[in-house]
């Protein structure tokens, strides 16, 4: 009976974890998309919005905060370090594997990867070298570093020194319809193929209406009968196109308060899903005999970085090396600065030092080596065999964690 109860508990925890993961991704998409729309309506710089939404690990931050609130410092730190490793060895590697040819990275990618290597080094130094009573100040410094990073990159992009990161969201949300309906969005995103066809048809029909003679306007049935076959086909196409435009016409954009409400809903979904994931992951780890450290570095980090893996595969197959690097580097900079700063501020009274003792130097070494490997690949160029080596390294890391 006890064994059956444990099995039911494990099954329920796994089901809750999967549901929480779906809610997390949905909430993250809603939060990010609504934030971008609200910021655009309020006149915030598109570059700043891109930096805060492209590669930003908001869902990771929520999971870490919830874990810290539950006193699970080892899971929070494990999730941070595991996600950082997974983004490089598990996601960036897939982008290289799916690339059809060698990837040559631009100057912006090299600057981003260099900054990441430096920030990872600083994070590990704070974790292992800074005394417990100074960790809270170091955490504040990391949060400030995140703000400085966003500010400086925004300035460098405005000067043309860096290339702005592209939005990697694959969500099917209202942001698309909002961008089409917003009068100022055409200049930013450009017309789609459908928009082009509709505009072309509209201009053509307008020209035909202007060139029609006055008798034709007064007696359209007579003019239709006198038209040749091409003219009748054109009129038929015009009627059909007008009907299609009425069916697929651009909807007016939602009021600002509705977007704010959607933003709040997305944030609430993030908080709720973070709680569900942290609780269910803890139960799964306990049922399988895993420590909070191993649970955070393997199960939790592997699940929460699934979107990055999908983006990396698409970026690699389409040879979008800029998106591939922005996706990986942006996520990891967010982790080691903002998430790391919150971790040190929250656990500045010695909890982080106690948690650090649960980690061997191997996790820290793998985290630093993964950032160094990313830097090296970006400098010399990415090849498929490099992706295979990185992916094999990630599989080996997971196996060692479970042993």
What the chain holds in terms of domains, given with CATH numbers, is 2-168+253-402 (1.20.1420.30), 192-247 (no CATH)
Q: Which of 274, 266, 272 is nearest to 72 (CA)?
A: 274
CA-CA distance, 305 to 313, in Å (whole number)?
13
Element (H, E) at 237: helix 229-247
Q: Contact, 37 vs 259, CB < 8 A?
A: yes
Say how far apart CA 379 and CA 143 lie, in whole Å.
Answer: 28
Can you give the pLDDT at residue 93? 95
* Separation of alpha carbons 15 and 9, rounded Å: 10
**According to the model, what pLDDT value does residue 125 have?**
93
CA-angle at 147, arms to 142 and 152, nearest 5° = 120
Angle value at C-alpha 376, between 85 and 50, nearest 5 degrees: 65
Count helices and strands (H / E) in the chain. 22, 0
CA angle 321-323-324, nearest 5°?
Answer: 60
Q: What three-state secondary structure class fits 103?
A: strand
Per residue, what are the HEC states of 332-366?
HHHHHHHHHHHHHHHCCCCHHHHHHCCCCHHHHHH
- Looking at residue 176, what is its pLDDT? 45
Computed on alpha carbons and rounded to an integer, the radius of gyration of the chain in Å comes to 26
The three-class DSSP label of residue 382 is strand
Q: State the pLDDT at residue 168.
A: 46
List b or e across 142-172, with b for residues whose CB sees 16 or more CB atoms inside 10 angstroms.
Answer: bbebbeebbeebbebbeeeebbbbebbbebe
Residues 78, 360: Cα–Cα separation, whole Å:
11
pLDDT of amino acid 288: 84
Burial class (CB in 10 A: 0-12, 13-18, 19+), 260: middle
Q: Following DSSP, what letter does each residue of 118-171 receive, concatenated?
A: HHHHHHHHHHHHS-GGGHHHHHHHHHHHHHHHHHHHHHHHHTTSSPPPPP----
User: What is the reported pLDDT for 308?
Assistant: 78
* 103 bridge partner residues: 382
Which residues are registered as beta bridge partners of 382? Answer: 103
Contact (Cβ atoms closer than 8 angstroms) between residue 33 and residue 171: yes
Interatomic CA distance for residues 142 and 338, integer angstroms: 6
Residues of the chain predicted below pLDDT 70: 1-4, 44-56, 163-253, 348-360
Distance in angstroms (rounded) separating the CA atoms of residues 327 and 394: 18
Output the CA–CA distances (angstroms, integers) from residue 399 to 81, 120, 247, in the order listed: 16, 23, 54
Ramachandran area for residue 106 (φ above 0: left; ψ -120 to 50: alpha; else beta): beta
Alpha carbons 372 and 183: distance in angstroms, whole number: 44
| pLDDT score, position 236 | 52
């Amino acid at each position: 009976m006890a064994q059956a109860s444990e099995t039911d508990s494990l099954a329920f925890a796994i089901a809750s974890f999967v549901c929480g993961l779906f809610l997390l991704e949905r909430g993250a998409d809603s939060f990010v998309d609504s934030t971008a729309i609200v910021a655009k309506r309020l006149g915030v710089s598109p570059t700043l919005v891109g930096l805060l939404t492209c590669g930003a690990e908001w869902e990771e931050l929520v999971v870490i905060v919830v874990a810290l609130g539950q006193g699970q410092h080892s899971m929070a730190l494990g999730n941070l370090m595991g996600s950082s490793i997974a983004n490089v060895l598990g996601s960036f590697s897939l982008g290289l594997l799916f690339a059809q040819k060698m990837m040559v990275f631009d100057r912006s990618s090299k600057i981003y990867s260099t900054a990441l290597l430096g920030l990872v080094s600083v994070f590990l130094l704070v974790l292992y070298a800074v005394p417990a009573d100074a960790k809270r100040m170091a955490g504040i410094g990391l949060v400030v570093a995140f703000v400085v990073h966003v500010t400086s990159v925004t300035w460098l992009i405005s000067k043309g020194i860096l290339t702005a990161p592209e939005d990697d969201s694959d969500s099917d949300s209202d942001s698309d319809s909002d961008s089409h309906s917003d009068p100022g969005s055409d200049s930013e995103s450009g017309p789609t193929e459908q928009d082009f066809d509709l505009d072309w048809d509209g201009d053509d029909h307008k020209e035909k209406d202007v060139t029609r003679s006055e008798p034709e306007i007064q007696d359209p049935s007579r003019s239709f009968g006198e038209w040749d076959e091409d003219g009748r086909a054109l009129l038929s196409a015009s009627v059909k196109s007008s009907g299609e435009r009425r069916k697929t016409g651009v909807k007016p954009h939602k009021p600002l308060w509705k977007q704010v409400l959607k933003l709040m809903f997305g944030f609430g979904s993030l908080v709720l899903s973070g709680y569900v994931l942290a609780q269910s992951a803890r139960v799964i780890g306990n049922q399988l005999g895993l420590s909070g450290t191993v649970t955070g570095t393997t199960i939790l980090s592997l699940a929460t970085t699934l979107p990055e893996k999908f983006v990396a595969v698409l970026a690699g197959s389409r040879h979008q090396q800029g998106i591939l690097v922005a996706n990986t580097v942006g996520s990891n900079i967010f982790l080691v600065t903002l998430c790391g700063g919150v971790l040190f501020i929250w656990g500045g009274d010695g909890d982080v030092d106690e948690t650090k003792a649960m980690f061997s130097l191997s996790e820290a070494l793998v985290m630093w080596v993964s950032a160094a490997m990313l830097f090296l690949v970006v400098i010399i160029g990415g090849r498929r065999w490099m992706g295979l080596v990185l992916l094999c390294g990630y599989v080996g890391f997971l196996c060692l964690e479970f042993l």
